[in-house]
Amino acid sequence: MILTYDGSLCGFLCLLGRAIKERIDVSDIQRRTQPGTADLFDQEQRIHNDPEWAAKVASGLESKLGRGFMITFAQAFYSEEEGVESDLLAVTRRALREGASIMNHLAEHPVGWVHFVAQKSNRERHRLLGLLRFQQLTDGSYLARTSPRCNVVPLLGSHFAKRLGDQRWLIVDEKRKLGIWGEKRKWSVVENIAISEELTLHDNEQKVADLWRCFYHNISNPGRHNPKLRQQFMPKMYWQYLTEMQPYMP
């Protein structure tokens, strides 16, 4: 049986819950935003989103397998690696049979692979915690843009909800047209988001950006200039969003 879903974590949790509860023999899991055509000899079933059911599945898995398992689960899912859904289904089924301790069997497939892709997305999440640059808009809210390799923007919500407190803020993944909106220490995922290039910045924003570029330019030590090390910590794929990497006019 081929199971399809909309590509969201909510949708995948619904799929996972159905597959486990109904003991479906799953041959493949596919993300589809549009109706697809299955092979002539394959059966295909579309799993629809049900936020309440997804929440129950997540809560049940966490109570049985622990929070650590669910963190690794989410990080691996957001890596968007091909076939990760099938691997997560296999690992979850085994963990429910044998216990969460199977996650320590890193030499076994697909446990080791799930850990590998989870670490991949977690590294990018950690990198973005330091490389996101917020701009204040005229309405007082703060906007940050990015285009990460992995779909890690939803993994940033809890951190920035605490860090930015009562501020209103939006982080946008321009590649996936997905964002997270935060206000009053709460946050939510926003899909199909498009940010206008004509957004008006706060009057002080340009001054702050100029001061930051000035500081970055003047604090550098020419004798210790190391482009390779800088690129290691600040990969070029993020430079278009970094205030300090924009042209500096003394």
The last residue of one of the domains, among 97, 123, 149, is: 123
- 128-156: pLDDT as tens digits: 999 999 999 999 999 999 999 999 999 99
Phi-psi domain of 142 (left: phi exceeds 0; alpha: psi -120 through 50; beta: other): beta
| 137 and 117 both lie in a single domain | no
| 26 and 66 both lie in a single domain | yes
pLDDT score for 36:
53
pLDDT band per the 50, 70, 90 thresholds, residue 243: very high
| pTM exceeds cut of 0.75 | yes
pLDDT at 45 over 70: yes
| 8 and 90 both lie in a single domain | yes
- 89-134: pLDDT as tens digits: 999 999 999 999 999 999 999 999 999 999 999 999 999 999 999 9
pLDDT, average across residues 163-168? 94
pLDDT band per the 50, 70, 90 thresholds, residue 38: low
Q: How many domains does the chain have?
A: 3
> Residue 250 domain-assigned?
no
pLDDT score for 52:
97
| 21 and 99 both lie in a single domain | yes
> Residue 104 domain-assigned?
yes
Domain that holds residue 222: 205-245
| 62 and 95 both lie in a single domain | yes
| 20 and 95 both lie in a single domain | yes
Tokens standing for residue 241: 């969003």
pLDDT band per the 50, 70, 90 thresholds, residue 163: very high
User: 142 φ, ψ to 5°?
Assistant: -120, 135
pLDDT score for 39:
57
> Residue 151 domain-assigned?
yes
pLDDT, average across residues 226-234? 88
CA distance 99 to 66: 10
Q: Show the beta-strand stretches assigned E in 123-163.
A: 135-136, 142-146
CA distance 135 to 146: 13
- Cα–Cα nearest to 88, from 12, 154, 144: 12
Q: Show the beta-strand stretches assigned E in the chain.
A: 2-5, 28-31, 44-46, 135-136, 142-146, 169-173, 178-183, 186-191
| 96 and 58 both lie in a single domain | yes
Tokens standing for residue 111: 């446990």
> Residue 196 domain-assigned?
no
pLDDT, average across residues 165-185? 95
pLDDT score for 129:
97
CA distance 67 to 16: 17
The last residue of one of the domains, among 96, 123, 150, is: 123
> Residue 12 domain-assigned?
yes
> Residue 85 domain-assigned?
yes
| 144 and 41 both lie in a single domain | no
| 42 and 145 both lie in a single domain | no
Phi-psi domain of 34 (left: phi exceeds 0; alpha: psi -120 through 50; beta: other): beta
| 15 and 98 both lie in a single domain | yes
pLDDT at 21 over 70: yes
Q: Higher model confidence: residue 186 or residue 200?
A: 186
> Residue 19 domain-assigned?
yes
| 182 and 155 both lie in a single domain | yes
The last residue of one of the domains, among 169, 191, 213, is: 191
> Residue 199 domain-assigned?
no
| 25 and 76 both lie in a single domain | yes
